[in-house]
Structure 1
């Protein structure tokens, strides 16, 4: 089955460029477009894309509010990939906190765009970990993890996996680092998400940064 994508951006040229790049890649199908976040929920309900590639700055409804709307209104919602011009942008961090699974810079090369969509669709790895650490350093609380931190229930190995996730390592890379199988890592990741009440890896990493459990380098 192809990874289906909905493009949301108020610039027609940006949408056309993304469509051209993604439709040239095997296994990816662009199923629709929208010019503003306000149109996203009805389109997601009708088209059921696996990924929504969404601009963070739009005139009527920005990417943060559109992300919240999709996750609130759609059962089994798609992965949200924020597409932005600036990597250190409070709106990008707000979108990640709202539930976006990752972000992509508009200046990215075609191969990076395709790779990002595939990663987001497969839920394997956080995008641009260095930039996410930078965003966390600017906008996360960064205080010490207190008694309310859900990560208190993590085992030592699960905590180690979470720290490696925060560094942007994929399941395969974590498995190589810990000398275990990929399926074992997947089990640990699932346990981390469940204990933190996180929707995906990105939400777990954001929670780790905001609690102070992980501190940006």
Structure 2
């Protein structure tokens, strides 16, 4: 039986990496989550660093380059809903070994990670806009925010303007405004200031923590 591959989950939001870890948990005979990092550099040597792009500056892939250069990560894979061609090309130019969709069911995500571990470069087909795979989590989900609404609120909470959000997410300004109106209704606010305050009170600020040796990990 092949030895399980080790994976570090990386994102600025603890709830996000814990959600992915929970989704992978049933497959721990094949994929072992060794480390969960929020706003901290990778420390343990792992087969794959899975970089979740939630509320990250999508147009700035410096973090991917940092991970690729980190000897602790044998392979680096981006995990995202945003498949703009420029983002895919940028990640590959920086040395990412995979670019995987958050709409993948857990079994397909595991298979893709195994393929990357075996030396393949895996890029998901551009997904239709569907709900993320079951098990994924994000701040505000329990309040009814979609993953994309949550990401936009996270960027707003970080102080980004509408123009910044549009540029970072590769959405049109009108689409961003539409998402903002929707999330305002869902969280019961009427202004940007109120939205930022709500976000700060509900987990929309980046975490600074590391959860080492996840359940079943080494």
Tell me the TM-score normalised to structure 2 length.
Answer: 0.49
Higher helix content, 1 or 2: 1
Q: Which has the higher contact order (CA 8 A, sep 6+)?
A: 2
